[in-house]
Amino acid sequence: MSNETTPNNSDSNTCRVCAGRTLELVRPSTIRRPLSEVDFAITDPNYGTTAAIYRCRECGFLQCAQLSDVLQYYQTLKDEEYDSSGQHRLHQAEKLLQTIIRYKKSGKLLDVGAGTGYLMQRALAHGFETVGIEPSSWLCDKALVKGLNVLCGVLPDPSLNPPYDVVTLIDVIEHVSNPVEVLSHIAGVMSTDSVGVLVTPDVHSLAARLTGTRWWHYRVAHVGYFNHKTISLALDRAGLRPISFSRPAWYLSAAYLMSRLSVYLPSYLRLNPPAVLNRLTIGFNLFDSMLVVFQRKSTPLHTVAGK
């Protein structure tokens, strides 16, 4: 455990995207107790709770500047609720694969932040050769039990065998305090023929602006908040170039969705969802996430990877 109110990094005054040195506080911390790995669970329901958020005056990037050493929480993370929602997360992974195969129909796929391997499972079913990398040893073990080729750790990893035809980074980049470095490592395992796919919340989306500080992506685990401009800049600084933006849908169980929406209701209206709703998959799109397809900047501009 550590106290997030104590700056523990000499770079806490530097923008993690553009390296600008002028950060302004836009939202004080709403964390009221020492942090632990529980706050970093994928299914954490405490929407609206974040460390202090600062905006870079130069590029507009929003970051939790004092939360810089978060990897430790992921290494010890356990999330039973995430693992029990497999059927719905496989459905979501399949939708992502349908986007990926528009660019690459086969080859080697690296999933960064692989979790328990749902995306790898669907990629294998489509004929890709897959490897995943995941910092949580608990999530890694779940993936290994499924027989998946997952490495427990973070990039760079010497046992990887680049280049990879497809590199995926799904709901990961908002969790790291060194986004340009992570994207640079990804650029390093791509060739000029490779394609990358990332998904991250869009802090400039209408849903984010309408729900304000109660937006469901404002949570402790999210230490960076991107929009179209700042994710493009982060990619650029890592030697990458976006080639397509879209709005991915989410697929969750009806029970999970109901319990999460209930946090927006007064307590007397909150009901426990019936068990039957666990088996029902609901797709919905609030148009508040970005799916970005990217390639290396050294790829000739006229080349659309894999087509």
Binding site for Zn ion (CB under 5 A): 15, 17-18, 20, 56, 58-59, 61
Closest C-alpha to 259, from 280, 274, 279, 281: 274
Least Å distance, CB 199 to Zn ion, is: 22
Q: By C-beta, is 23 or 286 nearer to Zn ion?
A: 23
Residue 279: CB minimum distance to Zn ion, A: 45
Shortest Å distance, C-beta 204 to Zn ion: 15
Nearer to Zn ion by Cβ, of 18 and 148: the residue is 18
Nearer to Zn ion, 40 or 61 (CB): 61
Alpha carbons 216 and 48: distance in angstroms, whole number? 7
Nearer to Zn ion, 15 or 148 (CB): 15
CB of 239 to Zn ion, least distance (A): 18
58 or 94: CB nearest Zn ion: 58
CB of 229 to Zn ion, least distance (A): 10
Task: Look at residues 137, 128, 72, 136 and name the one whose alpha carbon lies nearest to residue 105.
Answer: 128
Pick 17 or 152: Cβ nearer Zn ion: 17
How far apart are CB 202 and Zn ion at their closest, in Å?
17
**Which of 23/119 has CB closer to Zn ion?**
23
Question: Closest Cα partner for 162 from 128, 191, 184?
Answer: 191
Q: At 249, list the tokens.
A: 């849908």
Q: What is the closest distance, in whole angstroms, from the C-beta atom of residue 172 to Zn ion in the complex?
A: 20
CA distance 161 to 85: 31
The span from the CA of 24 to the CA of 178, in Å, is 19
